[in-house]
């Protein structure tokens, strides 16, 4: 019985990752890797600071991975991915805008 489950799992993984491998699968995997990288960046930054921080790189990885995942969802016609990533990407972009706006004001204050 355990051997049958192992064989079925092997067949499933082969079907998903090898037999159906195409441009969109590669694109989607890269998008997911970018999206996952944001957590690594945040974790490393927090460990270095000794407290929880969210560096701007987190938002850029979020935006890049989110946009790529949105494109993937559109290409694959996946409404759940489209809705989720469209809304999330707007939030990522807005956070970057707020950070840039805040940094601009902070540098003006330092110049005075």
Neighbours of 75 (CB within 10 A): 13
CATH annotation of 22-107: 1.20.1280.290
pLDDT at 111 exceeding the cut of 50: no
Give me the pLDDT at residue 2, please: 84
CA separation for the pair 1, 51 (Å, rounded): 49
Q: Enter the tokens of residue 50.
A: 């000794």
Q: How many CB atoms lie within 10 A of CB 61?
A: 22
pLDDT-derived band at 105 (thresholds 50, 70, 90) equals: low
Q: Percent of the chain, pLDDT > 90?
A: 57
pLDDT in tens, 33-67: 998 999 999 999 999 999 999 999 999 999 999 99
Could you count the other beta carbons within 10 Å of the beta carbon of residue 30? Answer: 15
């Amino acid at each position: 019985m355990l051997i049958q489950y192992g064989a079925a799992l092997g067949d499933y993984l082969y079907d998903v990752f090898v037999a159906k491998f195409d441009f969109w699968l590669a694109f989607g995997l890269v998008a997911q890797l970018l999206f996952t990288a944001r957590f690594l960046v945040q974790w490393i930054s927090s460990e270095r600071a000794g407290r929880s921080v969210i560096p701007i790189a987190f938002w850029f990885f979020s935006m890049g991975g989110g946009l790529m995942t949105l494109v993937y969802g559109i290409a694959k016609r996946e409404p759940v991915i489209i809705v989720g990533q469209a809304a999330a990407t707007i939030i990522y972009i807005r956070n970057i805008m707020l950070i840039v706006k805040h940094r601009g004001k902070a540098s003006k204050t330092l110049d005075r």
